[in-house]
Structure formats: C-alpha cells, structure tokens
C-alpha cells in the first residue's frame, strides 16, 4: 500500500507506557497531542494502560490494569507480559496505521512491546532526563536491535536528547512539550487564592510523595518568608499521603500557612496559577522539561524555579522566570523575598514570558510533530504491520522472566 500524500489525513497510532488510571505528564502530553491531531482531521487511536472501568477519551483503547513500579525516581503504573502483547497485536492489526508513535519505548511497558511487535513507519518520543539511569541501562539490551526499527526520534528537551544519546546512542530532533496557552491566559482570578502585598500567595504543584519534586526544599524556605510576610500562604496542589506530615515537621505551629488542596481539575489549576503572586518549582532533579512552568508562564504568573538545565532553558536563561540554586532552601527564601518585594521585576519577567511562551503552544508543537510524521511515512512502507521476527522479543522476555 502506498503512503498517503503529504498533507493528507493520517491514521496515527500512539502508544503511552504509563497508566491513565493515575495520569501524569506523559499521559497529558499524549492526550493533548491526540486531540490536536484529531482537530486537524487526522484519525488517532491511543493505546495505554487503563482498567476497563477507568473513564477514558473515546480515542483511547485500554490495554488493561497496570501495577505500580518504582522507575527513574518515581512511581509509575505500567503493564507488561504476554497478555498485554496480544492486546498490542490486535490493536495494531485493527488500526492499519500510517505511522506509529511510541512514547518512552525503552520503558518496560506497552511502548517496548509495541516496538518489538511492529514494523513500518515508527516515530519515538523520549521524555526522560537523567545523568545516570540504571533503568535505561537494564532495558537497553532488551531493545537494542529493535531501536533500529525507529524511523525518527523526538526528544522533548535538550536534556532528554542528551540522555538518549549517552545511554542508547543515535540522536533525536528536539520538539518541546506543548501547552494550550489561551485557557491559562484567559483563566479568571479566584479570590480564594489571590494574595495581597501584605499576604502574598505562592503555589506549588506536584506529587507530594516524590522527593525530587522538591516540596521539602520549599517548606524549609517558608519560615523566612513568613518572618517577613506573616500573612503569606503556600498553596500546595497534588496527590500524595505525606503532605501533612511534611508541613508539620517543617513549620510546626505555623503549619496553618500551608493549604493542601489535593488534586485539582485542569480548570482549577488554571485559576490557581493566574491568581497567585508566585509559582515555585523547587524540583531537585530528573526533569526533562517542566510543563507546569509553561502553564504558569501562560497564566501570567512569576515563576521561581531551581536552576536545573531543563528549567533554565524553558525560562529563557532566567529572563522569563527567576532561578535559585537547586536544593538550597536558604537561596530559595532569599529569591522569593526579593521577587515578592519587587513588583516591577515581576512585571518585566512575566512580560518576557508572555512573549516566548507561544513557542510551546500546541499549534506550533503539532506542526513540528506532523513534519516528523510526514518524513517517517515518506521513508517507509505504510501501513504499520507486525514484524515477523517479533516472537524473538517475546522469547527473550520469557527467558529473563524465568531467570527472575
């Protein structure tokens, strides 16, 4: 079958390794990409781990219940094994996709299985950014030969590209994560979260039980902020069972300055970000991009972030946000106090952010992804089919499972 002519609607299959039962950044990225492609007239099917009773979009095919696994410094919910492999085969056969887009294909989940099984135009996106990853080193022998089947590679940041090059060789084009800028820019302020010069509000979003998200760093910085601004409030949005304990240990009798909001909807997240005086991103490592920074920039809020390489690049080397030394609560406290005391500086930073943030809007990002799809389709035979040698990967998996 001949490939579609350039510019014609494509049949796109997207595979995400992490479960939609507890969605995170990669899942939201795939959701937004799928909906952006559908809005342009392309036919999209997403295969992802999800229980049969989990509410999912109509374009998503559940691949079964996932199990929590410690992976790359976080807890990921993934699925693997012969039953899942059979679901992948059936989905590929039914889809007859012009291009297959795998996310994190070396993660031991759906993407790795799909890479073993599929043949044809394949695009892979790599999200992970780590200086040293035992997980990637362990996974590489399982997929070394299969990686040659990938037509084109995408990395969501220069940090993710460097991780790919150092651990697996090859290279990738950098296409950033996307954000719909307008919903954040147009979100109304919410009086529950709006601060004043005497009682400013600071927001944090992230999982409370993942140390690398840096909540403990921010909590240790808060006493100095409260000394200067006794009415200040820290608004913490995110899931996790350790939040109250962390707050009590860090702030003691002043723990009431922290409000734990739990998980928030997309609409409430936009209203929160547009209402607060500062959004703080105190992550300590393992970040390849920083999508919430872009969301806060879109909302017109001043961003204070650790000086990780990925954050520095998103914030245009500190012109679109204010950086502090990673993992240093004293420097974070000084930075927060300086920013809160200088409205003119906040206005300059947010004005610059509003100019550069549109490079991350899905309208621009989707154009770049489609250009990669067109190159992959032009260079390979469509539709995507099953690789006759795919059973070798299954035998390798069974051998490793039998060895424990």
Euclidean distance between CA atoms 270 and 283, whole angstroms: 20
pLDDT digits (tens, 9 = 90+) for 354-378: 999 999 999 999 999 999 999 999 9
pLDDT digits (tens, 9 = 90+) for 169-188: 889 999 999 999 999 999 99
pLDDT digits (tens, 9 = 90+) for 179-236: 999 999 999 999 999 999 999 999 999 989 889 999 999 999 999 999 999 999 999 9
Q: Can you tell me which residue has the tokens 């972030």? A: 305
Is residue 390 within 8 Å of residue 15, measured between CB atoms?
Answer: no
CA 255 to chain centre: 30
Supply the pLDDT for residue 3. 52
Paired tokens of 198: 């005497």
Euclidean distance between CA atoms 103 and 94, whole angstroms: 20
Q: Enter the CATH code of domain 11-178+361-402.
A: 3.40.50.2000
Domain chopping of the chain, boundaries: 11-178+361-402, 181-359
Q: How far is CA 349 from CA 178, 317, 340, 345, in A?
A: 21, 11, 13, 6
Instruction: Please check whether the two domains, 11-178+361-402 and 181-359, share a CATH topology.
Output: yes
Confidence of residue 393 (pLDDT cuts 50, 70, 90): low
Supply the pLDDT for residue 241. 75
Q: Nearest 5°: CA angle at 352, between 197 and 332?
A: 50
pLDDT digits (tens, 9 = 90+) for 40-73: 999 999 999 988 888 999 999 998 876 655 555 5
Least confident of 37-46, 83-92, 273-282, 305-314: 83-92
State whether CATH 2.60.40.10 applies to domain 181-359. Answer: no
Task: Give the mean model confidence (pLDDT) for residues 340-349.
Answer: 98
Is residue 304 within 8 Å of residue 332, measured between CB atoms?
Answer: yes
The pTM is what?
0.86
User: Between these two residues, 83 and 33, which has the higher pLDDT value?
Assistant: 33
């Amino acid at each position: 079958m001949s490939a579609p002519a350039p510019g014609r609607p494509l049949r796109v299959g997207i595979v995400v390794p992490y479960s939609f039962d507890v969605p995170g950044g990669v899942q939201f990225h795939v959701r937004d990409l799928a909906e952006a492609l559908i809005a342009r007239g392309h036919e999209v099917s997403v295969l992802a781990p999800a229980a049969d009773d989990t509410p999912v979009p109509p374009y998503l095919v559940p691949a079964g219940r996932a199990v929590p696994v410690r992976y790359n410094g976080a807890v990921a919910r993934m699925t693997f094994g012969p039953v899942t492999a059979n679901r992948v085969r059936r989905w590929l056969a039914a889809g007859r996709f012009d291009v297959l887009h795998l996310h994190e294909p070396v993660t031991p989940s759906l993407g790795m299985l799909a890479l073993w099984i599929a043949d044809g135009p394949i695009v892979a996106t790599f999200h992970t950014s780590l200086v040293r990853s035992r997980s990637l080193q362990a996974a590489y022998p399982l997929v070394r030969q299969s990686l040659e089947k990938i037509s084109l590679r995408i990395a969501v940041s220069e940090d993710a590209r460097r991780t790919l090059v150092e651990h697996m060789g090859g290279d990738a084009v950098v296409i950033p994560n996307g954000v719909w800028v307008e919903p954040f820019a147009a979100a109304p302020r919410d009086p529950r979260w709006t601060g004043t010069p005497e009682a400013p509000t600071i927001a944090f979003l992230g999982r409370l039980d993942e140390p690398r998200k840096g909540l403990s760093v921010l909590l240790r910085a808060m006493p100095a902020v409260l000394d200067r601004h006794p009415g200040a409030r820290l608004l913490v949005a995110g899931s996790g069972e350790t939040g109250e304990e962390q707050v009590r240990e860090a702030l003691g009798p002043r723990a009431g300055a922290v409000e734990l909001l739990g998980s928030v909807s997309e609409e409430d997240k936009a209203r929160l970000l547009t209402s607060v005086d500062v959004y703080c991103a105190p992550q300590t490592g393992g970040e390849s991009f920083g999508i919430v920074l872009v969301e806060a920039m879109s909302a017109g809020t001043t961003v204070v972030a650790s000086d990780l390489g990925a954050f520095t690049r998103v914030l245009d080397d500190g012109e679109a946000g204010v950086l502090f030394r990673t993992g240093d609560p004293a420097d974070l406290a000084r930075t927060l106090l300086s920013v809160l005391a200088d409205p003119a500086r906040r206005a300059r930073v947010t004005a610059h952010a509003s100019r550069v943030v549109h490079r991350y809007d899905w309208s621009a990002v989707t154009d770049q992804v489609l250009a990669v799809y067109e190159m992959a389709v032009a260079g390979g035979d469509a539709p995507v089919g099953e690789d006759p040698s795919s059973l070798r990967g299954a035998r390798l998996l069974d051998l490793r499972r039998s060895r424990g």
